[in-house]
Amino acid sequence: MFAEIITIGDELLIGQVVDTNSAWIGQKLNKIGIEVLRIVSIRDREDEILEAIDNAMKRVNIVLVTGGLGPTKDDITKQTLCKYFHTRLVFSEEVFENIKRVLAGKIPMNALNKGQAMVPEGCTVINNPVGSASVSWFERNDRVLVSMPGVPQEMKVVMTESILPKLHEKFQTDVIMHQTFLVQHYPESVLAEKLELWETALPESIKLAYLPKLGIIRLRLTGRGQDKKEVRALLDSEKAKLEKILGEDIFCEEDTPLEVIIGELLKKKKITVSTAESCTGGSIAARLTSIAGSSEYFNGSIVAYSNEVKMNLLYVSPETLERHGAVSEETVIEMVKGAMKALKTDCAVATSGIAGPGGGTPEKPVGTVWIAAGYKNEIRTYKQETNRGRSMNIERAGNNALLILRDLLK
């Protein structure tokens, strides 16, 4: 069973907005055995929307359209769908009541919001409990087209609550299963060489993909077939072979963010964590606290950009800074100790480096980051040396800090 996603909006084409909806939709469809064949982003123009819809309806059974449903004039998806399906907009009392409920108290209702209660005649209107844009479900010759708002939060709610269950019910679907392995310690080509014999011998119905990401390689096995048990068994047998080859270098058997892996580990051990961050600027703390329930194991952080803060709040000695510099193994060791002491935690990570683009020297070029992780009396350090630009240097340092902490806690 195949689907196509069409995202509508000039802002996507001129690059003002990154399309994150499609990836989310792709994941969810996959879980119910629907494969996305194509994602197409187009402008808010009638002829382009008509062409894209027409092509998609010829190619696949399921067409999911997002965007172009706002109250403002630049949005024309609803009218264009009416044209394609030879129907017209009619007023829906039910949608109007929902809009009033959604806006209640927050925004005074005006003519533009009222216009959002106009829906295509002859389609099934699906309730949008969190927004004023309505959702339309069209069926033609066993093919389905659904038009949804482009606002991610609204799209996610209507997909989860209504559209995914309806699609699952309507279509008999093939089984697609993914398993992702997170691997550390390898550049991509070296890993590929190590896995070559195994990869060549993979059965037809199983595919392998490499997805490198700043110090981590995600290896994804995809199996497909008619029978869930059979696909699972095939994947499990390949997984066993892979584990034999890579052993401990596989640090997780699903595509889980490092901050979740660490969180689970801390909860299991009933211990707390903190961070002392210079060049990562609070981004490790932000990652750890992005997880719901992190207050159970995360106490706090000290972002120490200036040397003064390193000395005053993290107890780094002036002599260490003087003799070895802020970007040094000695400094991050004192920082990680300082974090555990000041924030009273069982473990901590610390970073200090030159994220760039400025600030490099011949001895410590841009991209140099010293990282430490501490747990009770044990401390491990790591020197990161590649320069891939400020934001990637920061993200990679965060990955490395959490990987070292994980090794230490294991």
> What residues between 249 and 308 interact with a second copy by CB under 8 A?
255, 275, 277, 279-286, 288-290, 292-295, 298-306, 308
Tokens 């030879």 found at: 86
- Contact present, 279 and 369 (Cβ < 8 Å): yes
Per CB under 8 A, 205 contacts a second copy: no
- The token duo for 323 is 């003799």
Per CB under 8 A, 112 contacts a second copy: yes
Cα–Cα distance for residue pair 148/69, rounded to 1 Å? 8
Write down the least CB distance from residue 23 to a second copy, Å.
4
Give residue 128's region: left, alpha or beta (phi > 0; psi -120 to 50). beta
Cα–Cα distance for residue pair 64/39, rounded to 1 Å? 10
Write down the least CB distance from residue 4 to a second copy, Å.
10
Per CB under 8 A, 106 contacts a second copy: yes
Cα–Cα distance for residue pair 129/157, rounded to 1 Å? 8
Length of the chain, in residues: 410
Write down the least CB distance from residue 380 to a second copy, Å.
22
Quickly list DSSP for 50-96. Answer: HHHHHHHHHH-SEEEEE---SSSTT--HHHHHHHHTT--EEE-HHHH
- The token duo for 319 is 């002599």
Write down the least CB distance from residue 382 to a second copy, Å.
16
Per CB under 8 A, 402 contacts a second copy: no
Write down the least CB distance from residue 168 to a second copy, Å.
17
Choose the stretch contacting a second copy; rule: CB under 8 A; options: 11-19, 89-97, 118-126, 242-250: 11-19
* x-marked contacts with a second copy along 158-197 as a string, rule CB under 8 A: --------------------x-x------xxxx-xx----
Quickly list DSSP for 321-357. Answer: HHHH-SSSHHHHHHHHHHHHHHTT-SEEEEEEE--SS
Cα–Cα distance for residue pair 353/378, rounded to 1 Å? 22
Whichever of 220 and 232 has its CB closer to a second copy, that residue is 220
Of 1, 50, 61, 71, which one interacts with a second copy (CB under 8 A)? 71
Whichever of 26 and 225 has its CB closer to a second copy, that residue is 26
Of 58, 86, 93, 111, which one interacts with a second copy (CB under 8 A)? 111
Three-state DSSP class for 265? helix
Task: Map the footprint of a second copy across residues 117-156, applying CB under 8 A.
Answer: 132, 151, 153
* x-marked contacts with a second copy along 326-365 as a string, rule CB under 8 A: ----------------xxx----------xxxx-------
Write down the least CB distance from residue 86 to a second copy, Å.
25
The tally of CA atoms less than 13 A away on the side-chain side of residue 127 is 8
Write down the least CB distance from residue 114 to a second copy, Å.
10
Binding-residue total with a second copy (CB under 8 A): 108
